[in-house]
Amino acid sequence: MNRTLEIFPDGNIYEYKDGLAVKVIPTHKQVKLLQKALQFTLAETFTIASADQVPPVVTDSATRGGMTINS
């Protein structure tokens, strides 16, 4: 059984089971930043943090991709 999710430009998220759409999650266009993050990331995996998980501290070098500007 293969399940996948697909985000459409209108923001709706569709769940597929073996290639057939089985569920739609209307997001009322509240996922634009998520779409951008997932589309342009170099990450190979995506996970959902648990409800009690504390977000990590992001360092300056991490937000800039580890690059610095020369003086």
Q: How far is CA 55 from CA 32, 33, 40, 52, in A?
A: 21, 18, 21, 9
Handedness of CA 63, 66, 69, 71 (dihedral sign): positive
- Domain positions in the chain: 3-63
Residue 46: per-residue pLDDT: 79
Residue 40: per-residue pLDDT: 84
pLDDT digits 0-9 by tens, 19-65: 899 999 898 888 888 888 888 888 887 787 888 988 889 887 655 55
Band of residue 69 on the pLDDT scale cut at 50, 70, 90: low
- pTM value is 0.57
Chain-centroid distance, C-alpha 58: 17
Residue 22: per-residue pLDDT: 94
